[in-house]
Amino acid sequence: MDSASISSTPADLLRAAGIKVTPGRVRVLQALHGARQPLCHGEMEAQLGADGAAALDRVTLYRILDSLVACGLALKAVDTRGVFRFSAAGTPRQHANHIHFRCTDCGGVFCLKAEPPPPPKLPRGFRLGEVEFDVRGTCAGCSARERE
Amino acid sequence: MDSASISSTPADLLRAAGIKVTPGRVRVLQALHGARQPLCHGEMEAQLGADGAAALDRVTLYRILDSLVACGLALKAVDTRGVFRFSAAGTPRQHANHIHFRCTDCGGVFCLKAEPPPPPKLPRGFRLGEVEFDVRGTCAGCSARERE
DNA sequence: CCACAAATGCAACAGTGTTGCATTTGTGGC
DNA sequence: GCCACAAATGCAACACTGTTGCATTTGTGG
Ligand SMILES: [Mn+2]
Ligand SMILES: [Mn+2]
Ligand SMILES: [Zn+2]
Ligand SMILES: [Zn+2]
């Protein structure tokens, strides 16, 4: 059986990748696998702070993320605001086939029952990376509260 | 004849866009039109510093770039390092009804011959704000350079 | 030429990411 | 289990990119 199959624990993945298994790395990798969208450093810090365990140093978190990228367990990309976002590598994207609505009030992300629009035809020589259909507005809850 | 034709001077473009014609804006717009690639703030500062005229304040440059983007005379995108890069746009409004491709290598923005997809249907109570269709990848030039 | 909104310059600040270095910890070999 | 040592961590300081507040200057319509 593949040493990095879908049933591997974070610790297994780290061992298979040849880097030390530390509590911080395990927590970060868990968070990445549980995330439904790529997370930036700040979001990850908040999420790790909320899980009860001791907080991770800011710099250590940066270094952990870099180490995960270096060994291929995570992917790093820049968002439209210029902030780096990280996602677990090798995970099937369960949110790949529908689009999302982001509430600009509460920050919530909602899955919509609509497929992403097909990528457009590109000029010769261009290579397609990601296509992102970003729908923003206010969710039902926040809209209701606003009307009060 | 269109008031913002290809032979318009930077000053003409600024006037047509409805914002004040200032020496700084003229210089920045000239630099953008003369550039062969999208420029970041730092590169633009260096270039403006080298042209003999008085240096432009750092913050003023940021504000000039933002004002050019706001009135449609420039386009803004993020490069792979998370830095904003600016390029000259054609005439204002010209970019409303087609979508854009952003090169994640050089930060270039390219117009595609495709309409933006329609906004999706939202669940009850949700209110639509903006919809953004973001197509990213590597442009022909950067793809070619990468293969070397 | 004037009035006034808009733009500028400067100082201080904020967000995001990095570097240096002393200390702690995970791991392979015994 | 224990040790040695490289790797990882925590902390302070720093760097880069971009923003905000506010007093002063300037472009523009009348
Ligand atoms: Mn989803
Ligand atoms: Mn366009
Ligand atoms: Zn909401
Ligand atoms: Zn490119």
CB burial of residue B85 (10 Å; 0-12, 13-18, 19+): buried
What pLDDT, on the 0 to 100 scale, is given for residue B9? 93
- Taking the C-alpha atoms of residue B47 and residue B67, their distance in angstroms, rounded to an integer, is 19
What pLDDT, on the 0 to 100 scale, is given for residue B1? 44
A121 vs B114, B119, B144: nearest CB: B114
- Distance C19 C1' – A16 CA (angstroms): 29
**CB hemisphere CA count around A90 (13 angstroms):** 15
- Shortest distance between the Cα of B46 and any Cα of chain A, in A, equals 22
Are the CB atoms for B94 and A103 separated by under 8 Å?
no
Strand D at less than 7 A from CB of A68 = no
Taking residues A7-31, what's their average pLDDT? 94
What pLDDT, on the 0 to 100 scale, is given for residue B142? 85
- CA-based nearest residue to A44, from A26, A31, A57: A31
What percent of chain A has pLDDT above 70?
Answer: 84
Q: Where are the domains of chain B?
A: 10-147
- Taking the C-alpha atoms of residue A41 and residue A62, their distance in angstroms, rounded to an integer, is 7
Considering the entire predicted model, what is its pTM? 0.74
Q: Which CATH class is domain B10-147?
A: mainly alpha
**Range scoring the smallest mean pLDDT among A42-56, A70-84, A90-104:** A90-104
Q: Which of residues 112-141 of A touch B (CB under 8 A)?
A: 112, 114, 117, 119-141
For residue B119, give Cα distances in angstroms to A136, B72, B123: 10, 23, 13
Query: Is B37 a residue whose pLDDT tops 90?
Result: no
- CA-based nearest residue to A68, from A35, A25, A38: A25
CB burial of residue B30 (10 Å; 0-12, 13-18, 19+): middle
A124 vs B130, B135, B140: nearest CB: B140
Greatest mean pLDDT among A80-94, A103-117, B15-29, B91-105: B15-29
What pLDDT, on the 0 to 100 scale, is given for residue B126? 92
What pLDDT, on the 0 to 100 scale, is given for residue B87? 93
**CB hemisphere CA count around A143 (13 angstroms):** 15
Query: Is A81 a residue whose pLDDT tops 80?
Result: yes
Query: Is B146 a residue whose pLDDT tops 60?
Result: yes
Enclosing H/E stretch for B68: helix B58-70
Sign of the alpha-carbon dihedral angle for B53, B58, B63, B69: positive
Which strands make up the sheet holding A39-40, listed edge to edge? A39-40, A84-88, A74-78
What pLDDT, on the 0 to 100 scale, is given for residue A45? 92
Are the CB atoms for A44 and A31 separated by under 8 Å?
yes
What pLDDT, on the 0 to 100 scale, is given for residue B2? 46
Taking residues B37-66, what's their average pLDDT? 91
Residue A92 or B16, more confident: B16
**Cβ atoms within 10 Å of B16's Cβ, excluding its own:** 17
Nearest 5°: CA angle at B85, between B82 and B88?
Answer: 160
Per-residue pLDDT of B89-109, as tens digits, reads: 976 566 667 888 888 777 778
Are the CB atoms for A72 and A17 separated by under 8 Å?
yes
What pLDDT, on the 0 to 100 scale, is given for residue A5? 46
- Shortest distance between the Cα of B63 and any Cα of chain A, in A, equals 17
**Range scoring the smallest mean pLDDT among B34-38, B80-84, B129-133:** B129-133
Taking residues B118-128, what's their average pLDDT? 91
